[in-house]
Amino acid sequence: MSGLPAADRAGRTVVELDREQALSLLAQAPFGRVVYTRDALPAIRPVNHLLDGEHVIVRTRLGSQFSTAVQKRAGIVVAYEADDIDIVNRTGWSVVVTGIARPVTDAVRIARYQRLLRPWIDSPMDGVIEIETTIVSGVGLFDNL
């Protein structure tokens, strides 16, 4: 990010994450937020995810507003953000993925994701959505080694 110092007064270093670093951190994060358009306005929902190759996978209820938005306009552009911030030490990272969201319709893949990805809330989740990792960006603030 331009304008950020290479190191701050506390000896931490700001790092622009490359694609590989950002996706590696994203794969470790248990939760994130999906940003999509609802009624021409931005909407944000917390979800848990997994990274499968070049796709972020989330489970949802088929009748949810996010799922409905994706079903109505297959190929909707969304953003997905996850982070891990230590507020005491003021270190951490944030990753944002922007890409096309599509419903997963293949029964074998749906069954696999249902086994691998348990929803963070106790609510039936009958839909699976994949988000392409078209644009990946990230920033970290880490203690100097």
Asked whether residue 145 is domain-assigned, the answer is: no
Whole-prediction pTM value? 0.85
Q: With respect to residue 101, please indicate whether it lies within any of the assigned structural domains.
A: yes
d(CA 17, CA 26): 11
Task: Provide the domain count of the chain.
Answer: 1
Task: Judge whether 64 lies within some domain.
Answer: yes
Contact 56, 98 (CB under 8 A): no
Residue 111 phi, psi dihedral angles, 5° rounding: -60, -40
Question: Does any domain span residue 38?
Answer: yes
The answer to the question of residue 28 being in a domain is: yes
Phi, psi torsion values for 141, nearest 5 degrees? -120, 110
For residue range 66-80, what is the model confidence (pLDDT) as tens digits?
Answer: 888 888 876 899 999
24-66, pLDDT tens digit by residue? 999 999 899 999 988 889 999 999 999 999 999 998 877 788 8
pLDDT 10s digits, 81-113: 999 999 888 899 999 999 999 999 999 999 999
Flag whether 144 is in a domain.
no
Residue 5 domain-assigned (yes or no): no
Q: What are 98's strand-pairing partners?
A: 79, 135
2 lies in a domain? no
For residue 93, give its domain range: 12-139
